[in-house]
Amino acid sequence: MKAFQAHPADLADELKRLPSEEAREAIRKLPRDQAAAVLIELDREVWPDVLADLKASELVGLIEELPNDVAADLIQDLPLSERRGVLAGLTKERVSEVAALMKHAWDTAGGIMSNQYLAFQKGETLAQCQEKLRNLAEVSEETEISYLYVTDDESKLVGIVSLRDLVFGHPNRPIEEVMKPDVKHVWVDDDQEQLAQLFERYHYLALPVLERGGQLVGIVVANQVFDVLQHEATEDMQLMVGLSGEERALTPWPKSLSRRLPWLCVNLGTAFLAAAVVGLFEETIAAWTALAVFLPIVAGQGGNAGAQTLTVIIRDLALGEMSPGDGRKALAKEVLLALLNGLVIGLIVGVVGYMWKGSLLLGVVVGTAMVLNMIAAALSGVLVPYTLKALRIDPALASSILVTTVTDVAGFLFFLGLAALAMRW
For the segment 223-252, give every residue that binds a copy of itself (CB under 8 A): 223-227, 229-230, 233-234, 236-238, 240-243, 247-251
Residues between 359 and 418 that touch a copy of itself (CB under 8 A): 400-401, 404, 408, 412
What distance in Å separates the CA atoms of residue 384 and residue 379, rounded to the nearest whole number? 8
CB of 137 to a copy of itself, least distance (A): 5
In whole angstroms, the minimum distance from the beta carbon of 86 to a copy of itself comes to: 26
CA dist 398 and 102 (Å) reads 33
Using CB under 8 A as the binding rule, the residues of this chain from 24 to 83 that contact a copy of itself are none
Q: What is the DSSP letter of 186?
A: E
Please select the residue that binds a copy of itself; options are 1, 6, 13, 49, rule is CB under 8 A: 13
- For residue 46, the minimal CB distance to a copy of itself (Å) is 14
Q: Which of residues 133-152 bind a copy of itself (CB under 8 A)?
A: 133-134, 137, 145-146
Contact between 120 and a copy of itself (CB under 8 A)?
Answer: no
Residue 351, interface with a copy of itself (CB under 8 A)? no
Binding mask 151-170 for a copy of itself (x = CB under 8 A): ------------xxx-xx--
Closest CA to 150 of 173, 170, 140: 173
Please tell me the distance from the alpha carbon of residue 202 to that of residue 226, in angstroms, as a whole number: 14
Residues near a copy of itself (CB under 8 A), total: 111
Q: Name the β-bridge partners of 114.
A: 219
The residue among 56 and 335 lying less far from a copy of itself, judged by its C-beta, is: 335
Stretch in the footprint of a copy of itself (CB under 8 A) among 53-61, 74-82, 211-219, 324-332: 324-332
- The packing angle between helices 56-64 and 32-41, to 10°, is 80
Listed in sequence order, the residues at least 6 apart from 93 whose beta carbon sits closer than 8 Å to its beta carbon are none
Closest CA to 88 of 78, 30, 34, 105: 78
**Binds a copy of itself by CB under 8 A, chosen from 88, 205, 355, 360:** 205
Based on the shown chain and the rule CB under 8 A, indicate whether residue 199 belongs to the binding site for a copy of itself: yes
Write out the H or E segment, with its range, that includes residue 425: none
Q: How far is the CB of 135 from a copy of itself (least distance, A)?
A: 10
169-201: b or e for each residue (b if 16 or more CB lie within 10 Å)? Answer: beeeebbbebbeeebebbbbebbbeebbbbbbe
- Pick 204 or 354: Cβ nearer a copy of itself: 204
Of the pair 52, 340, the CB lying nearest a copy of itself is at 340
For helices 399-424 and 222-240, angle between their N-to-C axes, nearest 10 degrees? 30
Q: Which C-beta is closer to a copy of itself: that of 9 or that of 105?
A: 9
Kindly tell me which residue out of 157, 313, 376, 420 binds a copy of itself, with binding defined by CB under 8 A.
Answer: 313
Q: Which of residues 125 and 234 has its CB atom nearest to a copy of itself in the complex?
A: 234
The verdict on 194 binding a copy of itself (CB under 8 A) reads no
Q: Which of 272, 351, 358, 421 binds a copy of itself (CB under 8 A)?
A: 272
Angle at alpha carbon of residue 28, lines to 22 and 32, rounded to 5°: 145
* List 321, 358, 360, 421, residue binding a copy of itself (CB under 8 A): 321
Helix (H) or strand (E) run with residue 217 in it: strand 216-221
Give the residue, chosen from 29, 300, 355, 360, that forms a contact with a copy of itself under the rule CB under 8 A. 300
Q: Is 242 left (phi over 0), alpha (psi -120 to 50) or beta?
A: left
Q: Can residue 308 be called a binding residue for a copy of itself (CB under 8 A)?
A: yes
Q: Are 412 and 351 in contact (CB under 8 A)?
A: no
Q: Which of 345, 372, 388, 410 binds a copy of itself (CB under 8 A)?
A: 345
For strands 206-210 and 186-187, give the pairing: parallel
